[in-house]
Structure 1
Amino acid sequence: MTKDTYYVTTPIYYPSDKLHIGHAYTTVAADTIARYKKMRGFDTMFLTGSDEHGQKIERKAQAAGKEAKEYVDQIVATFKNLWDKLDIEYDYFIRTTEARHEKVVQQIFEKLYDQGDIYKGKYEGWYCTPCEAFWTERQLEEAKEEKVCPDCHREVEWVEEESYFFKMSKYADRLLEHIKDHPEFIEPESRRNEMINFIENGLDDLSVSRTTFEWGIPVPIDDDHVIYVWIDALSNYLTAIGYQTDQENFEKYWPADLHLVGKDILRFHTIIWPIIIMALDLELPKQVFGHGWLLSETGKMSKSKGNVVDPVVLIDDFGKDAIRYYLLREVAFGTDGKYSTESLIQRINSDLANDLGNLLNRTVSMVDQYFDSEIPKVAEKADLDQELIDLAAQTKKEVEIEMEKLKYTVALEKIWNFVRRTNKYIDQTSPWLLAKEPAKRDRLKTVLYNLLESLRIIAVMLKPFLTEAPFKMGQQLGQLEAIEDADWEAATWGSLKTGVKVKNGEPMFPRIVLEEYFEKVEQRKEKSKDKDLKEREKMDLVEIKERITFSDFMDADIRVAEILEAEKIEGSNKLLKLQVDIGLEKRQLVAGIAKKFEAEAVIGKQILIVANLEPATIFGVKSEGMILAASDPEGNMVLSTVSSEIANGSQVK
Structure 2
Amino acid sequence: MSNETFYLTTPIYYVNATPHLGHAYTTILADTMARFQKLRLGPERVYFLTGTDEHGDKIAQAATQTGESPQAYADRISGIFQETWRRLGLAPNQFIRTTSEPHKRAVQRLLQQIYDSGDIYFGEYGGQYCFGCERFYTEKELQDGRCPDHQTTPTFIKEQNYFFRMGKYQDWLIDHIRHHPDFIRPERFRNEVLSFLKDPLEDLCISRPRTRLEWGIPLPFDAQYVTYVWFDALVNYISAPGWPDGEVFQRFWPSAQHLIAKDILKPHAIYWPIMLKAAGLPLYRHLNVHGYWKIEEAKMSKSRGSVVRPLDLADKYGVDAFRYFVLREMTFGLDASFSEEALVARLNADLANDLGNLYSRVLKLIQRYYDGRISELPGERGLADATRVAVMGVTAATERFAFSEALAAIWNLVSATNKYLVTNEPWKADPEDAQTKAVLFSAAETLRAIAILLWPFLPQTAERMLQGLGVSEPLTSIHFDELLSSSWHLGSQERRVQEVEPLFPRIEVTVPRLKPAGTGAKPLPQKSPPLVPSPSEGGELGEGCIEQITIEEFRRIDLRVAEVIEAVAIPGSKKLVKLRVRLQDEERIVVAGLKEPYPPESWAGKRVILVANLRPTKLMGIASQGMVLAAEDESGRIVLLTPEQPISSGSKVR
Local SS of the residue matching 1:284: coil
- Cα offset for 1:152? 2.9
User: What is the CA-CA distance between 1:517 and the residue it aligns to?
Assistant: 12
Aligned counterpart, 2:340 = 341
Match of 1:117 among 116, 119, 127: 119
Once the two structures are TM-superposed, the CA of residue 77 in structure 1 deviates from its matched residue by 0.9
Q: Is the 8 A contact 1:167 1:205 kept in 2?
A: yes
1:396·1:491 contact (CA, 8 Å) conserved in 2?
Answer: yes
Q: Which residue does the alignment assign to 1:191?
A: 189
Distance 1:3 1:128, change over 3 A: farther
Tell me the amino acid that sits aligned with residue 86 of structure 1.
L
**Does the CA contact (< 8 Å) of 1:376 and 1:448 recur in 2?**
no
1:256: how far off? 4.5
State the partner residue of 2:55.
Answer: 53
Shift of 1:345: 0.5
Is 473-482 or 324-333 further displaced after alignment? 473-482
In 2, are the aligned partners of 1:471 and 1:480 still within 8 Å (CA)?
Answer: no
Query: Whole-Å Cα distance in 2 between the matches of residues 378 and 253 of structure 1?
Result: 42
Q: Distance in 2 between matches of 1:256 and 1:55?
A: 33
2:444 is aligned to 452
2:17 aligns with 17
| Gapped regions of structure 1 (runs ≥ 5) | 520-653
User: Given that residues 121 and 163 in structure 2 are in contact (C-alpha distance below 8 angstroms), is that contact kept between their aligned partners in structure 1?
Assistant: yes
Matches within 5 A, 1:85-104: 85-104=87-106
Q: Which amino acid aligns with 2:86?
A: D
Contact 1:326–1:344 (CA under 8 A) maintained in structure 2: yes
- Structure 2 distance, partners of 1:131, 1:511, is 43
State the match for 2:632 in structure 1.
none
Structure 1 match to 2:404: 409
Kindly provide the CA deviation profile for residues 464-486 of structure 1, in whole angstroms up to 9, marking residues without a partner as x.
Answer: 11111111111111114354632
Offset of residue 340 of structure 1: 0.6
The answer (yes or no) to whether the contact 2:377–2:488 under 8 Å persists in 1 is: no
Q: 1:136, CA displacement in angstroms? A: 1.6
Name the structure where helix makes up a greater proportion of residues: 1
| CA deviations over 1:434-453 (Å, ceiling 9, x no partner) | 137x5xx1111101111100
Structure-2 residue corresponding to 1:8: 8
CA gap 1:103/1:483 in 2 versus in 1, 3 angstroms: closer
- Equivalent residue for 2:366? 367
Q: What is the CA distance between 1:220 and its match in structure 2?
A: 1.5
Q: Describe how 1:41-190 pairs up with structure 2 within 5 A.
A: 41-42=41-42, 43-142=45-144, 147-190=145-188
1:380 touches 1:446 (CA, 8 Å); kept in 2? Answer: yes
Match of 2:205 in 1: 207
Query: Cα deviations across residues 168-212 of structure 1 (Å, max 9, x unaligned)?
Result: 000000000000000100011111111001111110000000012
Q: Give the alignment of 1:434-513 within 5 angstroms.
A: 434-435=429-430, 441-481=433-473, 483=475, 485-493=477-485, 494-495=487-488, 497=490, 499-513=494-508
Q: Displacement of 1:487 after TM fit?
A: 2.7
1:503-540 superposed Cα distances (whole Å, 9 cap, x missing partner): 12221100001228999xxxxxxxxxxxxxxxxxxxxx
Contact 2:376 2:488 in 1 (8 A): no
SS at match of 2:133: coil
Which range moved further: 481-490 or 62-71? 481-490
Whether the aligned pair in 2 keeps the contact of 1:457 and 1:492 (CA below 8 Å) is no
* Residue identity matched to 2:443: L
1:248-647 correspondence runs (5 A) = 248-297=247-296, 299-379=298-378, 386=382, 388-435=383-430, 441-481=433-473, 483=475, 485-493=477-485, 494-495=487-488, 497=490, 499-515=494-510
Matched, 1:38 2:33: no
Any conservation in 2 of the 1:378–1:449 contact (CA below 8 Å)? yes
Q: Which amino acid aligns with 1:195?
A: V
Whole-Å Cα distance in 1 between the matches of residues 499 and 446 of structure 2?
A: 17
Q: Deviations over 1:244-302 (max 9, x none)?
A: 3x343322111343100001101110100000000011111110011111112251111
Q: Equivalents in 2 of 1:247, 1:365: separation in Å? A: 53
SS of corresponding position for 1:154 = coil
Report SS of the residue matched to 1:10. strand
Aligned residue for 1:261, secondary structure, equals strand
Name the TM-score, length of structure 1 as normaliser.
0.75
Q: Percent identity?
A: 42
Q: Do the aligned partners of residues 2 and 264 (structure 1) sit closer, same or farther apart at CA in structure 2, a change above 3 Å counting? A: farther
Aligned to 1:635: none
Amino acid at match of 1:240: A
Q: Which residue of 1 aligns with 2:216?
A: 216
**Aligned residues between the structures:** 508
Hey, what's the Cα distance between the residues in 2 that align with 1:8 and 1:240? Answer: 12
Q: What is the CA deviation profile of residues 295-340 of structure 1, one whole-angstrom value per residue up to 9, with x for unaligned ones?
A: 1225111111111000011111111111111111111111100111
1:20 and 1:310 in contact (8 A); partners too: yes
Q: Secondary structure at the match of 1:200?
A: coil
Name the residue aligned to 2:615.
Answer: none
Q: Is the 8 A contact 2:150 2:303 kept in 1?
A: no
SS at match of 1:184: coil
- Report the equivalent of 1:641: none
Question: 1:425/1:2 Cα in 2 relative to 1: closer, same or farther (>3 Å)?
Answer: closer
Determine helix, strand or coil for the equivalent of 1:60: helix
TM-score, with structure 2 as normaliser: 0.75
Provide the rounded CA distance (Å) in 2 between the counterparts of 1:380 and 1:38.
Answer: 32
Equivalent residue letter for 1:45? Y
Instruction: Pick which of 7-16 and 31-40 moved more.
Output: 31-40
CA distance in 2, matches of 1:379, 1:277: 59
The 4+ residue runs of structure 1 with deviation greater than 4 A are 516-519
Question: In structure 2, do the counterparts of structure 1 residues 208 and 2 end up closer, same or farther at CA, with 3 Å as the change threshold?
Answer: farther
One-letter amino acid matched to 2:402:
K
Question: How far does residue 85 in structure 1 lie from its aligned partner after superposition?
Answer: 1.3
Displacement of 1:348: 0.6
In the superposition, relative to structure 1, how do residues 503 and 228 fare at CA in structure 2: closer, same or farther (>3 Å)? same
**Partner Cα separation in structure 2 for residue 60 and residue 517 of structure 1:** 40
Structure 2 counterpart SS, 1:49 = strand
Secondary structure of 1:481's counterpart equals: coil
1: CA distance between counterparts of 2:479 and 2:302? Answer: 40
The verdict on how the C-alpha distance between 1:264 and 1:173 changes in structure 2, with shifts beyond 3 A counting, is same
The one-letter amino acid paired with 2:291 is G
> Match of 2:57, as an amino acid?
Q
Q: Give the counterpart letter for 2:392 in structure 1.
A: K
Structure 1 pair 376/248, CA: closer, same or farther in 2 (3 Å)?
closer
Kept in 1: contact 2:241–2:248 (CA 8 A): yes
What secondary structure, in the 3-state scheme, does the structure 2 residue paired with 1:468 have? helix
**C-alpha separation between the residues in 2 aligned to 1:484 and 1:255?**
24
Pair 1:171–1:484, CA change in 2 (3 A): closer
Specify the alignment match of 2:540 in structure 1: none
